[in-house]
Amino acid sequence: MGRKVRWGVLATGGIAASFTRDLLEMPDDAEVVAVASRSAASAEAFAERFGIPRAYGTWAELAADDGVDVVYVATPHAAHRAAAGLCLEAGRAVLCEKPFTLNAREAGELVDLARERGTFLMEAMWMYCNPVVRRLVEVVRDGAIGEVRTIHADFGLVASDDPGHRLRDPAAGGGALLDLGVYPVAFAQLLLGEPDRVRADALLSPEGVDLNTGVLLGWDSGAQALLSCSVVADTPLTATVTGTAGRIELPRGFFFPEGFTLYREGRDPEEFRVEGRRDSYQYEAAEVMRCLRAGEKESPLVPLDGTLAVMRTLDAVRDRIGVRYPGE
Ligand SMILES: NC(=O)c1ccc[n+]([C@@H]2O[C@H](COP(=O)([O-])OP(=O)(O)OC[C@H]3O[C@@H](n4cnc5c(N)ncnc54)[C@H](OP(=O)(O)O)[C@@H]3O)[C@@H](O)[C@H]2O)c1
């Protein structure tokens, strides 16, 4: 694929707008050719706002558009399975927002579908594509801090307490864990893989979604991850990785870091910085387009097996804290 990659955007909410804005800043590589919404009016308004040529009032029309190479799915999580499935069935490559789906069963169905069809599929886990995070993984794998023993990470903010907001709505897959906790869990699993044990505790809302959640992951190696997420507390948003020979600290906003500090016994702290915009979705968009041009069906940076393993951990946490979504 020597030409520009032709993107379709499915849904017209907050992240759909942010991602589209970033795609439009990659004019040599990408073009946004279509948008779909549950309503024609929203699709048209979004198309007009961003200068997108085709606007559809149904997802099926976007899925059927042969002029689209890849669809970016940006609905609330409870709709990811249906939206991404429709596009994969139609042979469209898919980049699907995090959390990938409501649960591991749905995630497995999408992964099976993509693999059977030989169609590209990736979770929009933009943290894994961030150059600072990629550098951190290299530094850890090179043994700079020895064997990883402990990971601390948190993602908490004070969100709307309107029971109609998607974060409070069980039907939308609400709660802190799936929306925010997916980052600390994915961060820990990036470095240590799937845990052998999962423990958790949470404060639940009257509607039954988790508001304030603590997770302890354990590995047979003796490594542990102590993670938290919240929609009722503005937590530091930091991460620390401690090994047998040193420690790495990521400052506030660990999931889109501007850099990190490496501490080693007997040495001055070492600062790692990478040039470029830290809050950019262009790193994940670039990875999708690299894969499409190379004919790769899965991204080695955001592997589907890793996505499935994270979804299994999120299921296990929800099992421990008693959160069930409608239909489960
Ligand atoms: N990567 C990131 O940094 C990041 C940041 C924020 C959110 N996210 C993820 O992106 C997804 C969307 O989040 P958001 O903040 O953009 O939400 P949002 O602002 O509420 O927008 C979601 C959009 O999805 C559509 N939608 C709403 N309810 C729906 C339903 N019941 N079924 C199907 N579609 C529905 C709507 O578009 P239409 O009216 O056009 O159908 C809506 O505008 C979530 O999974 C979230 O976790 C990722």
Question: 177 and 204, same structural domain?
Answer: yes
Atom number, ligand 1, closest to the C-alpha of residue 166:
20
Average pLDDT over the chain, rounded to whole? 97
Question: 80 and 51, same structural domain?
Answer: yes
Question: 316 and 169, same structural domain?
Answer: yes
Atom number, ligand 1, closest to the C-alpha of residue 17:
16
The residues, ordered by sequence, that sit 6+ positions from 135 with a Cβ below 8 Å of its Cβ are: 260, 272, 274
Judge whether 302 lies within some domain.
no
Judge whether 135 lies within some domain.
yes
Q: Domain residues for 68?
A: 5-126
For 106-114, which contacts have Cβ atoms below 8 Å and span 24 or more sequence positions?
Answer: 106/80, 106/81, 107/307, 107/308, 107/311, 108/308, 109/81, 109/85, 110/80, 110/81, 110/84, 110/85, 111/304, 111/307, 111/308, 113/85, 113/88, 113/89, 114/88, 114/297, 114/298, 114/304
| Straight-line distance from the first to the last Cα atom of the chain, in angstroms, rounded to the nearest whole number | 41
Question: 240 and 147, same structural domain?
Answer: yes
Question: What CATH code is carried by the domain that includes residue 218?
Answer: 3.30.360.10
| Cβ-based neighbour number of residue 228 at 10 Å | 24
Atom number, ligand 1, closest to the C-alpha of residue 37:
40
Which of 62, 97, 169, 288 should be mutated for ligand 1, with most atoms under 8 A from CB? Answer: 97
Give one DSSP letter per residue of 94-163, joined into a string. Answer: EEEPSS-SSSHHHHHHHHHHHHHHT--EEE--HHHH-HHHHHHHHHHHTTTT-SEEEEEEEEE-B----T
Question: What DSSP designation does 294 have?
Answer: H
Q: Taking a C-beta distance cutoff of 8 angstroms, is the pair 231, 169 a contact?
A: no
Mean pLDDT of all residues in 44-69: 98
For position 274, what pLDDT does the model report?
Answer: 84
For position 163, what pLDDT does the model report?
Answer: 87
Percentage with pLDDT > 70 across the chain: 99
pLDDT digits (tens, 9 = 90+) for 283-326: 999 999 999 999 999 999 999 999 999 999 999 999 999 999 99
Which of 38, 77, 95 should be mutated for ligand 1, with most atoms under 8 A from CB? Answer: 38
Band of pLDDT at residue 78, cut at 50, 70 and 90:
very high
Judge whether 326 lies within some domain.
no
How many angstroms separate the alpha carbon of residue 154 from the centre of ligand 1?
22
Give residues (CB < 6 A) around ligand 1: 11-16, 37-39, 42, 74-77, 79, 97-98, 124, 126, 166, 172, 179
Question: 230 and 194, same structural domain?
Answer: yes
Question: What DSSP designation does 78 have?
Answer: G
Given 126, 142, 172, which residue is the final one in a domain? 126
Judge whether 301 lies within some domain.
no
Question: 15 and 104, same structural domain?
Answer: yes
The residues annotated as belonging to the active site are 98
Question: 274 and 136, same structural domain?
Answer: yes
Q: Taking a C-beta distance cutoff of 8 angstroms, is the pair 35, 49 a contact?
A: no
Given 85, 110, 126, which residue is the final one in a domain? 126
Counting the structural domains of the chain, the total is 2
How many angstroms separate the alpha carbon of residue 259 from the centre of ligand 1?
29
Question: 151 and 121, same structural domain?
Answer: no
> What span, in angstroms and rounded, lies between the C-alpha atoms of 317 and 215?
7
Q: Taking a C-beta distance cutoff of 8 angstroms, is the pair 238, 254 a contact?
A: yes
Which of 10, 19, 73, 75 should be mutated for ligand 1, with most atoms under 8 A from CB? Answer: 75
pLDDT digits (tens, 9 = 90+) for 190-208: 999 999 999 999 999 999 9
Question: 252 and 265, same structural domain?
Answer: yes
> What span, in angstroms and rounded, lies between the C-alpha atoms of 142 and 245?
12
Tell me how far the alpha carbon of residue 71 is from its chain's centroid: 16
CA distances to 11, 77, 124, 174, 313 from 84, rounded to whole Å, are 12, 11, 12, 19, 22
Residue 172 phi, psi (nearest 5): -95, 5
Question: 91 and 50, same structural domain?
Answer: yes
Percentage with pLDDT > 90 across the chain: 95
Given 126, 149, 168, which residue is the final one in a domain? 126
Question: What CATH code is carried by the domain that includes residue 14?
Answer: 3.40.50.720
How many angstroms separate the alpha carbon of residue 36 from the centre of ligand 1?
13
Question: 241 and 92, same structural domain?
Answer: no
Judge whether 305 lies within some domain.
no
Q: Is the pTM of this model over 0.75?
A: yes
pLDDT digits (tens, 9 = 90+) for 209-268: 999 999 999 999 999 999 999 999 999 999 999 999 999 999 999 999 999 999 998 999
Judge whether 142 lies within some domain.
yes
